[in-house]
Amino acid sequence: SLLLHQLNIAKKSFNQLNNGSFTKRNFYKLRLDRNKKIKSILYQDELSVDKFLMDSGIFFCTGEINDNLCNLTISELLYFSMNDSKKDVNMLINSPGGSIMSGMAIYDIMRCLNTKINTISVGLAASMGSFLLAVGSPGGRFSFPNTRIMIHQPIGGIQGTAIEVEIQIKELLYHRNNINYILSKSTGQTISKIENDTDRDKYMTAYESKEYGIIDEIIGEGCGENVDKANFAVETTRSAYVDWIDIRYVE
């Protein structure tokens, strides 16, 4: 369709040139009209692709999880469930995380839908992104082999008066305990282990996250490197680290 539009424009240009009406002003106007038509065609193609994917039950949760992404994801899920509630939802997640409340809003809607929610991580699923990955329907949580998955405790910037800081700290601790409880139910790990592992950023490969219980299966298993974590273990106590003062360099 794009090629046909370009041919029609070229034909129109040729006719104007033969009629003597192809002035410099008409040339720029014609080029502007052509660019608008091309953009319109590309935009329509983009919309048709998005509609095709959504009708197939494929949704994207990519980028920072904020209010805009939350509203878009919720509206698409509700629209899909009202039109065809028998199909599975396949949510592809590639996110560094973001707002706790936006992520919890998506989680609540996922729980309310009368359909299976398959979560699929690609690229990076960190923080709230890994949380949404873990809360997918049992047996429907997937990851590609080279995806990185990270869990940690909630992060928040707090300022204000002493009383306001105390209120915000209590709110942050509530979210931490609530997220740890949900992760414990979803992964099968104890709450104490979740608390210990999320005390700092914990990065995992797809294989490690499968052992941990965040995902159920790895898509295309064997296409990625199953790194032996023992070879890359990092000590977590100060006494286990090297005393750099005693290092002697050998030429």
Whole-number mean pLDDT of the chain? 77
pLDDT at 82 over 80: yes
Q: Which of 26-40, 167-181, 233-247 has the lowest mean pLDDT?
A: 233-247
Confidence band, pLDDT 50/70/90 cuts, at residue 4:
low
| Tens of pLDDT, residues 145-163 | 999 999 998 877 677 788 8
Query: Residue 167: which H helix or E strand, with range?
Result: helix 162-187
- Tokens 């065809």 map to which residue? 84
Residues 144, 122 contacting (CB under 8 angstroms): yes
Q: Please indicate whether residue 127 is annotated as part of the active site.
A: yes
| Alpha carbons 76 and 132: distance in angstroms, whole number | 16
Confidence band, pLDDT 50/70/90 cuts, at residue 243:
very low
pLDDT confidence of residue 240: 46
E strands present in the chain: 58-62, 89-95, 117-126, 141-143, 148-151, 202-204, 217-218
Q: Which of 32-41, 103-112, 188-197 has the lowest mean pLDDT?
A: 32-41
Catalytic residue (choose from 5, 99, 137, 152): 152
pLDDT confidence of residue 221: 66
pTM for this model (two decimals): 0.70
Q: 10 Å Cβ neighbour count for 70?
A: 20
Catalytic residue (choose from 102, 127, 143, 186): 127
Q: Please indicate whether residue 56 is annotated as part of the active site.
A: no
Which residues pair with residue 182 across a beta bridge? none
Bridging pattern class, strands 202-204 and 148-151? antiparallel
